């Protein structure tokens, strides 16, 4: 039985205005449906619901604004359907453009930060370990839980903004310490160190993790000394796309897993998976849908949004060369600003890089319409969503292969073996 405090009941009945009342009632009803006994205070939110999927979302946001709703906690915004900071041309019909713009303005009017990125954790929004928050967007959720050690469930569209306005979230799921313990152990110690250090491996491992775990919590053994924040970002994004993963642990790396035994709560795992090179090869092959072809019409990287370090790596690999086909670099305005300050954006654009800022090529129509088109990417998330969202078949590869293919205008594979 859900119990509200006197303050929460007063908010739900309109003491703080109609918008705040609607938000509190939404959060309370979600808590009741989840079987939560109470609501808990949250320190921040990340809002996924400002991405236009239909007029109802815009009208919902504007109703909150009309009711005087304002966020009670820090609330960053995920990507939108438009690009106020500038990027490639977006091909939305006039009505959808107008409604998408109205939606974005409504969320800003409620006091949300115009961050417009799916990687808020790399734009300065980094809640501390053990902090309860209400985050949306699957990759942001899994990073927040796993790498930062803050606590959030996967808050869907519209519940995310309701939590931000109410400053409350249901007390269930990954907010509770007992639900954060791993039950699945994935052992990758038998794979080569070269592979475990390779950037191409992490979306593949994330895909395996997502399919094996579903929504269960896993601990990975064997990545000590091999990873980085950007690699963990790629791992989590693929795991959250391939499955319902909201939290994973990496033994000796992530904050709640000084070792596998601690992540498991001292209990034996319910399931243990020992990955082999054959497992990795099979998962790798499954990320490509284009078949045996060297056709590449465009390259897209940056899902989740590219960090400045990843842009640095792209620039290094380009080595001053021009691209034969466009390379769409999806990133946030927090990365674009320092690039512009150093005049690097213009140089990269002159060489053929197309910056996609505040949005990405998979959530809004940017890629040209071409028959039989093939998109190359190093993103596990793009590999999962691009065929359905863009109509492009996908060829998956490493960042190095993506850059070389963009330079050559056709598929180029690196000389070294994958495994």
Query: Tell me: the pLDDT tens digits for 317-331?
Result: 999 999 999 999 999
The confidence score (pLDDT) of residue 88 equals: 65
| 418 pLDDT above the threshold of 60 | no
Calpha distance 395→173 (Å, rounded) = 36
List all residues 6 or more positions away from 297 whose beta carbon is below 8 Å from its beta carbon.
325, 368, 370, 373, 374, 375, 392
The confidence score (pLDDT) of residue 87 equals: 67
pLDDT band at 415 (very low <50, low <70, confident <90, very high): confident
Whether residue 46 is found in the same domain as residue 133: yes
| 70 pLDDT above the threshold of 80 | yes
The confidence score (pLDDT) of residue 319 equals: 97
Choose the final residue of a domain: 176, 196, 222: 176
pLDDT band at 419 (very low <50, low <70, confident <90, very high): low
* Cα dist from 343 to 139, 159, 301, 309, 351, whole Å: 30, 40, 21, 16, 13
Whether residue 240 is found in the same domain as residue 322: no
Give the closest residue to 153 by CA, choosing from 185, 179, 117.
179
Calpha distance 174→152 (Å, rounded) = 6
Give the closest residue to 294 by CA, choosing from 419, 143, 397, 179.
397
Contact 193, 227 (CB under 8 A): no
Residue 207 forms part of a structural domain:
yes
Q: Which of 127-131, 181-185, 411-415 has the lowest mean pLDDT?
A: 411-415
Model pLDDT for residues 209-265, shown as the tens digit of each residue: 999 999 999 999 999 999 999 999 999 999 999 999 999 999 999 999 999 999 999
Contact 242, 154 (CB under 8 A): no
Residue 418 forms part of a structural domain:
no
| 4 pLDDT above the threshold of 80 | yes
- Burial (CB < 10 A; 0-12, 13-18, 19+), residue 392, is buried
Model pLDDT for residues 25-58, shown as the tens digit of each residue: 999 999 999 999 999 999 999 999 999 999 999 9
When pLDDT is averaged across residues 273-284 and rounded to a whole number, the result is 96
Number of domain units in the chain: 3
Q: What is the model's pTM?
A: 0.96
Where residue 44 sits, what CATH number does that domain have?
3.30.499
When pLDDT is averaged across residues 78-90 and rounded to a whole number, the result is 84
The angle at the Cα of 386, spanning 400 to 299, to the nearest 5 degrees, equals 30
Residue 293 forms part of a structural domain:
no
Residue 332 forms part of a structural domain:
yes
**Residue 210, domain extent:** 181-286
Residue 328 forms part of a structural domain:
yes
Whether residue 54 is found in the same domain as residue 189: no
Percent of the chain at pLDDT > 90 equals 96
pLDDT band at 86 (very low <50, low <70, confident <90, very high): low
Where residue 337 sits, what CATH number does that domain have?
3.30.499.10
The confidence score (pLDDT) of residue 84 equals: 78
Whether residue 46 is found in the same domain as residue 161: yes
When pLDDT is averaged across residues 325-341 and rounded to a whole number, the result is 95
- 3-state SS, residue 415: coil
Residue 224 forms part of a structural domain:
yes
In the chain, how long is the greatest CA-to-CA distance?
66
pLDDT band at 89 (very low <50, low <70, confident <90, very high): confident
The confidence score (pLDDT) of residue 105 equals: 97
Whether residue 324 is found in the same domain as residue 265: no
The confidence score (pLDDT) of residue 219 equals: 98
Residue 416 forms part of a structural domain:
no
Model pLDDT for residues 116-150, shown as the tens digit of each residue: 999 999 999 999 999 999 999 999 999 999 999 99
């Amino acid at each position: 039985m859900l119990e509200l405090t006197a303050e929460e009941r007063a908010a739900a009945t309109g003491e703080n205005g109609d918008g705040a009342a609607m938000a509190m009632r939404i959060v309370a009803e979600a808590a009741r449906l989840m079987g939560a006994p109470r609501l808990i205070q949250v320190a921040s939110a990340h809002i996924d619901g400002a991405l236009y999927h239909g007029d109802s979302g815009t009208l919902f946001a504007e109703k909150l604004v009309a009711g005087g709703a304002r966020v009670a906690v820090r609330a960053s915004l995920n990507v939108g359907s438009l690009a106020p900071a500038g990027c490639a041309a977006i091909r939305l019909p006039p009505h959808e453009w107008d409604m998408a713009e109205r939606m974005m303005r409504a969320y800003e009017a409620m006091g949300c930060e115009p961050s417009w990125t799916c990687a808020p954790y790399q734009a300065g929004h980094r809640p501390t370990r053990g902090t309860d928050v209400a985050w949306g967007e699957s990759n942001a959720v899994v990073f927040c839980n796993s790498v930062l050690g803050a606590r959030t469930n996967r808050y869907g569209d519209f519940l995310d903004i309701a939590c931000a306005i109410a400053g409350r979230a249901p007390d269930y799921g990954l907010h509770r310490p007992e639900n954060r313990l791993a039950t699945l152990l994935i052992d990758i110690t038998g794979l080569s160190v070269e592979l475990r250090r390779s950037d191409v491996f992490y979306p593949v491992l994330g895909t395996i993790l997502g399919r094996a775990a579903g929504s269960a919590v896993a601990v990975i053994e064997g990545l000590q000394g091999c990873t980085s924040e950007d690699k963990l970002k790629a791992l989590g994004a693929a795991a959250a796309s391939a499955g319902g993963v909201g939290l994973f642990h990496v033994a000796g790396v992530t904050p709640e897993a000084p070792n596998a035994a601690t992540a498991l709560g001292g209990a034996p795992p319910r399931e243990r998976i020992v990955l082999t090179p054959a497992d990795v090869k099979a998962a790798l092959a499954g990320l490509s849908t284009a078949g045996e072809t060297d056709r590449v019409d465009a390259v897209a990287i940056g899902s989740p949004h590219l960090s400045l370090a990843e842009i640095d790596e792209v620039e290094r690999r380009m080595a001053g060369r021009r691209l034969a086909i466009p390379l769409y670099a999806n990133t946030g305005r927090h990365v674009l600003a320092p690039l512009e300050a150093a005049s690097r954006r213009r140089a990269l654009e002159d060489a053929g890089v197309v910056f996609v800022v505040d949005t990405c090529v998979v959530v809004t129509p940017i890629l040209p319409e071409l028959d039989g088109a093939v998109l190359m990417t190093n993103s596990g998330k793009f590999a999962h969503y691009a065929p359905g969202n863009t109509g492009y078949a996908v060829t998956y590869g490493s960042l190095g292969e993506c850059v070389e293919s963009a330079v050559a205008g056709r598929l180029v594979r690196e000389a070294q073996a994958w495994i």
